[in-house]
């Protein structure tokens, strides 16, 4: 058994916990919307056709902002198809996922679903096949109070109050050749700048997200951000980042250290954005909206035929079943987002239901929590006050992909007013239990209120339709505080949260 020492210091505050870091993502893809959160015939469905058992799990998950309606889907989407009387809405082909889109769920219905879950909408506009005009139309339909053609249309469609959407994404992954209408950084940067400027003429307080890179491995990574921001800097507020991780070739050690790539990604984008800001002599800072992040077994999906030549309604696509190891990595990615909370001020776990999701459903049947549900929901519930950057002394191990990685990674939050703190930790060792001692003396907290760990003898254990509760949180009875120092033992390949008061 080896030991890790962590020091927490109030003066090492990163930023206040921003609830937008616990955002999620709903795309019209596979069974995320249709036969996922929307299933009119289901015994728990409400008058809009939304499953209330799913709503309950979404609330327990603690997600905040929801990005919608895509993803790759948005780059071919005509928003007008999805408003007004449902019987008049056209069925269209969605080229991104080669599926049929019935348009039975659109902005107005989805906004009502968001009210059930108490979430904020972050809406994406189509800059793949469309442009400024359609973005302005959607903005008018969504946010203008009344007395114009499109706001009155919304009212006639039954939504009297404006949706008042604050965050808007200017397209999706426009750097990716897979994107409908993908562009060079120069072309996209100009279009995004013009669209953003026009949208802000309608409402100067909108918060706009320009597309960054689809991954740190993109050939244009870094240069894309520079060029796009040189065009759009003064008109936008965020630049997006997307990252997905998976275990490859049985290299669990590298996979467990995936957060090092996320840190590299964030550092590179912040440096590039600040470089452009200096160059333009701008007083403003561009923050990151990490609006797609997760574990995704993309290689396996590419090799499958789940996206095929048939035009199907709500096909089973991207339905990863997550293991304990996946959940530990997800918990570590969330630790990394928190650690960078001064510049990453919005994030969306991609996605929410069925599609690479923490929540699964069966048509006409149950809904259940994947392993990845747990670190997300507990972190969202316990993180409060200021984020503290910990000083960590831990051993390292060598990885093939990321170089040396720390055995333990952690972050903490401190709510001085409530007199509470929370520490979130991972143990990346595959063989050793790690004893961690956390110096809390500067925080004035004395007792362990709750200590929960996620681990299993089988790191590949999963929750499935047949065995929905195979993996869950376990009370960690080793956590205790003596003389202002928290001691806790972390099993191999585990995620832990300790709340203190
Ligand atoms: O989340 C799944 C897909 O991943 C999204 O549609 C796209 O933006 C990304 O490539």
302, 206: one domain: yes
- Where are the strands (E) in 50-143, listed by range? 65-68, 92-94, 99-101, 120-125
The predicted-structure confidence for 30-80, as pLDDT tens digits, reads as follows 999 999 999 999 999 999 999 999 999 999 999 999 999 999 999 999 999
Q: What is the position in ligand 1's atom list of the atom closest to the CA of 244?
A: 4
Cis peptide before 71, with omega less than 30 degrees from 0? yes
297, 257: one domain: yes
309, 224: one domain: yes
For ligand 1, the distance from its centroid to the CA atom of residue 212, given in whole angstroms, is 13
* Catalytic residue from among 173, 225, 247, 434: 173
CB neighbour burial string for 185-203, b if at least 16 within 10 angstroms, e if fewer? beebbbbbbbbbebbbeee
Q: Locate 166 and state its tokens.
A: 């604050």
pLDDT above 70: residue 228: yes
77, 118: one domain: yes
Q: From CA 443, how far away is CA 385, in angstroms rounded? A: 12
133, 265: one domain: yes
* Catalytic residue from among 27, 292, 386, 434: 292
**3-class DSSP assignment, residue 113:** helix
107, 53: one domain: yes
CATH number where 392 lies: 2.60.40.1180
270, 305: one domain: yes
Indicate the pLDDT class of residue 174, thresholds 50, 70 and 90: very high
Contact predicate 188/228, CB 8 Å: yes
For residue 1, what pLDDT is reported? 63
251, 290: one domain: yes
313, 398: one domain: no
CATH number where 278 lies: 3.20.20.80
For ligand 1, the distance from its centroid to the CA atom of residue 369, given in whole angstroms, is 22
For residue 430, what pLDDT is reported? 98
Tokens 């470089």 found at: 275
The predicted-structure confidence for 16-40, as pLDDT tens digits, reads as follows 999 999 999 999 999 999 999 999 9
Q: From CA 400, how far away is CA 388, in angstroms rounded? A: 30
Ligand 1 binding pocket mutation candidate from 25, 242, 296 (most atoms within 8 A of CB): 242
- The set of protein residues with a Cβ atom below 6 angstroms from ligand 1 is 27, 70-72, 172-173, 214, 292, 350-351
216, 236: one domain: yes
Q: Locate 3 and state its tokens.
A: 């030991």
Cis peptide before 69, with omega less than 30 degrees from 0? yes
**3-class DSSP assignment, residue 290:** strand
pLDDT above 80: residue 379: yes
The residue range of the domain holding 279 is 18-382
Q: How many structural domains are present in the chain? A: 2
DSSP summary character for residue 43: T
Ligand 1 binding pocket mutation candidate from 24, 127, 173, 355 (most atoms within 8 A of CB): 173
Q: Which of 382, 402, 419 is the last residue of a domain?
A: 382
Average pLDDT over residues 269-273: 98
Indicate the pLDDT class of residue 303, thresholds 50, 70 and 90: confident
Q: Which of 342, 363, 382 is the last residue of a domain?
A: 382
Residue 123 forms beta bridges with which residues? 68, 168
Contact predicate 127/170, CB 8 Å: yes
45, 183: one domain: yes
For residue 2, what pLDDT is reported? 78
**What percent of the chain is predicted at pLDDT more than 90?**
97
The predicted-structure confidence for 414-443, as pLDDT tens digits, reads as follows 999 999 999 999 999 999 999 999 999 999
Q: Which of 344, 360, 382 is the last residue of a domain?
A: 382
489 is catalytic: no
324, 467: one domain: no
DSSP summary character for residue 423: E
Residue 245 forms beta bridges with which residues? 295
DSSP summary character for residue 91: P
Residue nearest to atom 3 of ligand 1 (CA): 71
For residue 301, what pLDDT is reported? 84
Ligand 1 binding pocket mutation candidate from 23, 26, 27 (most atoms within 8 A of CB): 27
Q: Locate 242 and state its tokens.
A: 């997307």
417 is catalytic: no
Q: Give me the half-sphere count of Cα atoms (radius 13 Å) on the Cβ side of residue 145.
A: 0
């Amino acid at each position: 058994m080896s030991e890790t020492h962590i020091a927490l210091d109030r003066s090492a505050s990163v930023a206040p916990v921003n609830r937008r870091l616990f955002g999620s993502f709903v795309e019209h893809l596979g069974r995320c919307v249709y036969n996922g959160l929307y299933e009119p015939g289901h015994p728990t469905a409400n008058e809009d056709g939304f499953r209330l058992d799913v709503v309950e799990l979404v609330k327990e998950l603690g997600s905040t902002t929801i990005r919608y309606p895509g993803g790759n889907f948005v780059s071919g989407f005509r928003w007008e198809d999805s408003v007004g009387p449902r019987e008049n809405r056209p069925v269209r082909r969605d080229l991104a996922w080669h599926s049929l889109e019935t348009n039975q769920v659109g902005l107005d219905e989805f906004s009502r679903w968001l009210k059930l879950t108490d979430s904020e909408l972050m809406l994406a506009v189509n800059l793949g096949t469309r442009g400024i005009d359609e973005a302005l139309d959607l903005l008018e339909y969504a946010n203008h109070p009344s007395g114009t053609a499109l706001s009155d249309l919304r009212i006639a469609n039954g939504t009297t109050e404006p949706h008042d959407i604050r965050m808007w994404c200017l397209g999706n992954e426009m750097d990716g050749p897979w994107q409908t209408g993908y562009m060079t950084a120069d072309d996209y940067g100009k279009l995004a700048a013009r669209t953003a400027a026009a949208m802000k003429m309608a409402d100067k307080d909108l918060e706009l997200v320009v597309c960054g890179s689809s991954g740190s491995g993109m050939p244009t990574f870094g240069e894309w951000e520079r060029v796009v921001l040189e065009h759009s800097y003064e008109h936008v507020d965020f630049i997006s980042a997307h990252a997905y991780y998976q275990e490859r070739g049985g290299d669990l050690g590298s996979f467990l250290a995936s957060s090092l790539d996320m840190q590299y990604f964030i550092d590179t984008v912040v440096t590039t954005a600040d470089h452009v800001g200096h160059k333009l002599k701008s007083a403003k800072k561009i923050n990151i909206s990490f609006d797609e992040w997760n574990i995704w077994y993309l290689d396996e999906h590419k090799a499958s035929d789940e996206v095929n030549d048939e035009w199907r309604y709500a096909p089973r696509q991207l339905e990863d079943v997550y293991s304990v190891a996946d959940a530990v990595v997800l918990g570590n990615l969330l630790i990394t987002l928190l650690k960078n909370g001064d510049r990453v001020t919005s994030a969306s776990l991609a996605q929410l239901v069925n599609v690479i999701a923490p929540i699964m459903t069966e048509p006409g049947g149950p809904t259940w929590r994947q392993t990845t549900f747990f670190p997300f929901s507990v972190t969202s519930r316990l993180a409060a006050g200021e984020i503290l950057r910990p000083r960590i002394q831990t051993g390292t191990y060598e990885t093939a992909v990321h170089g040396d990685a720390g055995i333990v990674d952690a972050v903490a939050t401190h709510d001085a007013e409530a007199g509470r703190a929370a520490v979130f930790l991972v143990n990346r060792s595959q063989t050793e239990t790690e004893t961690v001692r956390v110096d809390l003396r500067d925080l004035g907290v004395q007792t362990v209120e709750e200590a929960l760990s996620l681990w299993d003898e089988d790191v590949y254990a999963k929750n499935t339709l047949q065995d929905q509760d195979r993996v869950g949180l376990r009370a960690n009875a080793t956590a205790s505080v003596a003389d202002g120092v928290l001691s806790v033992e972390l099993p191999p390949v585990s995620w832990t949260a300790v709340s203190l008061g």
